[in-house]
């Protein structure tokens, strides 16, 4: 009978340990998620001047074909940018330009 009690105690300890490990893992995921969100928002606030934004294309490179561009209500409408503040022309360009694949 004592052996069974001992086994039950061990099972409880193991279950509790697994629960605590699971909780620690969930806490880690929450921290990583929060950190990821912070690093995304860290890009916000880049001024047009700091990236030499211009309202005209640089050759064939323009905001409308940059991965950072968020289009406006139509293809010709101004939009916004994921990293540069303010209204962004689809025909604009800056040094942070990154072509869509």
Interface residue list for ligand SF4 (CB under 6 A): 51, 53, 63, 66, 68-69, 81, 83-84, 88, 92-94, 96-97
What is the C-alpha to C-alpha distance for residues 40 and 51, in angstroms, rounded to an integer? 18
Q: How far is the CB of 64 from ligand SF4 (least distance, A)?
A: 8
Q: Give whichever of 6 and 52 is closer to ligand SF4, judged by the CB atom.
A: 52
The answer to whether 48 touches 84, Cβ cutoff 8 Å, is yes
Q: Give whichever of 14 and 53 is closer to ligand SF4, judged by the CB atom.
A: 53
What is the C-alpha to C-alpha distance for residues 23 and 60, in angstroms, rounded to an integer? 51
Q: How far is the CB of 95 from ligand SF4 (least distance, A)?
A: 7
Q: Give whichever of 35 and 40 is closer to ligand SF4, judged by the CB atom.
A: 40
Which residues fall within 8 angstroms of residue 97, CB to CB, at 6 or more apart? Answer: 58, 61, 63, 66, 68
């Amino acid at each position: 009978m004592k052996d069974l009690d001992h086994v039950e105690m061990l099972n409880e300890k193991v279950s509790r340990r697994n629960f605590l490990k699971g909780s620690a893992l969930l806490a880690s995921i929450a921290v990583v998620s929060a950190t990821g969100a912070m690093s995304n928002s860290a890009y916000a606030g880049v001024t047009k001047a700091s990236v030499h934004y211009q309202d005209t294309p640089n050759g064939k490179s323009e905001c409308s074909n940059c991965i950072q561009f968020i289009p406006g209500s139509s293809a010709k409408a101004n939009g916004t940018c994921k990293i540069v503040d303010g209204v962004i022309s689809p025909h604009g360009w800056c040094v942070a330009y990154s072509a869509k694949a």
